[in-house]
Amino acid sequence: MNVVRRMAQWNELIHPDRIHGSLYTDRSIFEAELQNIWYRTWVYVGHESEVPKANDYVVKSIGPQSVIMTRDEQGKVNLLLNRCSHRGNQVCSYERGNARSFTCPFHSWTFANDGRLVGYAFPDGYEGQDRAELALGRVTRVESHRGFVFGSFAAEGPTLKEHLGGAAETIDRLVRTSPEGEVEITAGFLKHRVKANWKFILENECDGYHPAFVHTSIFGVADSMIGKLYGGASTALTRDYGNGHTEIDLRPEFRKRDLPMSWFGTSEERLPDYTTRMKAAYGDTAAREIMIDGTPHVMIFPNLFLAEIQMFVIQPLGVDDSVQHVTALQFKGAPDLNRRLRQQTMGSVGPAGFLLADDSEMYERCHRGVLARNPEWVFLGRGEKRERRDELGFKIGHVTDEVPSRGIWAHYRKLMEAA
Amino acid sequence: MLSRESSATLMGAVTAFLNREARLQDEHQYEAWERLWTDDGVYWVPANGANIDPEREMSIIYDNRSRIALRVRQLMTGKHFTQTPQSNLRRLVSNIELIGEHPGGDIGVASNSLIFESSLRDDTLWAARNEYRLRLVDGDLRMAYKKVVLVNNDKAIYTLSFLV
């Protein structure tokens, strides 16, 4: 198959129960993904709480592109491309700060933090030039849901609400863990690089088949309750929300335990301040339900993984070069819970994390593995014959079934074929 | 203020300690390395700079003594796949300085290290500034605190699963 023919015929590479190994390793496919996925669909960029005050900014990304998320003087959140409109130099070299404007060090062009060009050196050489034409580039559409800011380079297409679809509810569920209904991203990010294709990461986030094996070393020594959730007898579920969004729904197991905060391996007694605040905010009954159900384990396509106690943002840099940006979720009005979330997050994820060091090892070995081309296919058929629908019509399966991978690839194919 | 003679003796003992620690790490002698710690040891590898607040911000490693033990136990299972097979390692430790005495008598020590790691993924070079608080326990030096500031800790880094 030559590349041109292959690009046109995604249905040859993506079947309901198997996908072609070259999808992870072919450079021309990676370039096509940047155009058809990363520079078109809604991509998570940052959280409003990272720029709390007027003129705050933080540097984020969409794929390999550097994006400055600013809060301008009017309080509006902007996603600006970190590229001077003159010669392309990066106008911002710091990861975060507070600035009304960005001055390019190359020829001193200065841009307001809403993107407007406000001045250039020796302006007499630009007589008659309309400055509005020379603003910083921006991400075409910006929308947020519960403080999570997404951007899309497509001028038209589904709204963020349409894109999130059924998965929007998981974010709504997440923020209810805060007595004030808000997530805050304030603990800084660990940046974990892997020499592997980004889709190995994407698929693994809701793969409930691997934990019992990949994480056996830590489950065995840490006296962890997590292992059981992913066992053969578990009642937890995998779910495909459509649009590539997938979930591991652990609530059936936590509801069986019927113990508030058991989802986080702790108890009301150990978090008295949090418990009091939750009951005051939601009432005894609803607070108890929230504290039993715990936070979601959901992968918002293509790059936002809400992983119960932490949040990952997946960034593809090249066909075999990806970064996992990860931080502890922090809940407004929950200082005692937040401290434990930071401690647990530091132990489990990032480059030296008890869990993620092993996950990342699998990503890299898989990437090298699929370079071998016999068999050509990656088999994703687990649980296909026992898939069923939940009461809202979403596909569900056993926690170890490959419902999420199949959902991701079905959506991927749709995006790639639409190009 | 230490006399010249006792300072030289102390420097010799500290240098020997750091060299020994480096060898135990390079050779994956996990339990022997763990025995170098005091009961209140803190092992800290910050991210995003040298002077973040580890109680508020993410660190690559921020282990209290029980978490150091957990880290070692995970390595000892032989199923911590990122270290199965183990990385091949050699490190150089240099620029050793005594940087004062802490309240309670702990000895402040600083060093630089350059670590060559060869793993399944690739060969990786790591560089760090290390700060220690060492304590004499029953006549032997022990680590009460080790902080490892990777030169590139503000960037995206590969898996760091050997003992740094």
Sorted by where each starts, the structural domains of chain A and their CATH numbers stand as 46-152 (2.102.10.10), 165-417 (3.90.380.10)
Q: How far is B95 from chain A (nearest CA, A)?
A: 26
A215 touches B: beta carbon within 8 Å: no
- Tell me if A357 and B161 make a contact (CB, 8 A cut-off): yes
Q: In chain B, what are the domain boundaries?
A: 4-150
Task: Quote the CA–CA distance of A105 and A293 in Å, as a whole number.
Answer: 51
* Closest approach of A12 to chain B, Cα-based (Å): 31
| Confidence grade of residue B2 (pLDDT, cut at 50, 70, 90) | low
Kindly report the average pLDDT of chain A as a whole number: 96
Which among A218, A327, A346 has the least Cβ separation from residue B74?
A218
Q: What is the pLDDT of residue A225?
A: 84
Q: Which residue has the tokens 């006399």?
A: B3
Query: Given this structure, which CATH class describes domain B4-150?
Result: alpha beta
Interface check A77 vs B, CB under 8 A: no
Mean pLDDT of chain B: 96
Test A352 with B60 for CB contact under 8 angstroms.
yes
Say what the pLDDT of residue A46 is: 98
pLDDT in tens, B13-29: 999 999 999 999 999 99
Three-state SS at B112? strand
CB under 8 Å to A391, separation ≥6 — which residues?
none
pLDDT confidence band for A231 (50 / 70 / 90): very high
In chain B, residues with a C-beta closer than 8 Å to the C-beta of A194 are 158-159
Q: Is A214 in CB contact (< 8 Å) with chain B? A: yes
Considering only the beta carbons, identify the residue of B58, B71, B122 that sits closest to A187.
B58
Residue A400 Cα distances to A3, A18, A21, A64, angstroms: 34, 17, 22, 33
Contact B59 A346 (CB under 8 A): yes
How far is it, in rounded angstroms, from Cα A256 to Cα A259?
Answer: 8
pLDDT reported for residue B101: 87
pTM of the model: 0.96
Q: Does A386 touch chain B (CB under 8 A)?
A: no
> CB distance A216–B56 less than 8 Å?
no
Q: Which residue among B81, B121, B158 sits closest to A358, beta carbon to beta carbon?
A: B81
Per residue in B53-87, pLDDT (tens digit) is 999 999 999 999 999 999 999 999 999 999 999 99
Task: Answer whether the bond into residue A211 is a cis peptide, omega within 30°.
Answer: no
What pLDDT, on the 0 to 100 scale, is given for residue A49? Answer: 98
Distance CA A48, CA A29 (A): 33
**Does B60 sit within 8 Å of A191, measured CB to CB?**
no
Q: Which residue of A has its CA nearest to B163?
A: A352
A1 falls in which pLDDT band (50, 70, 90)?
very low
A-chain residues near B82 (CB < 8 A): 357-358, 360-361
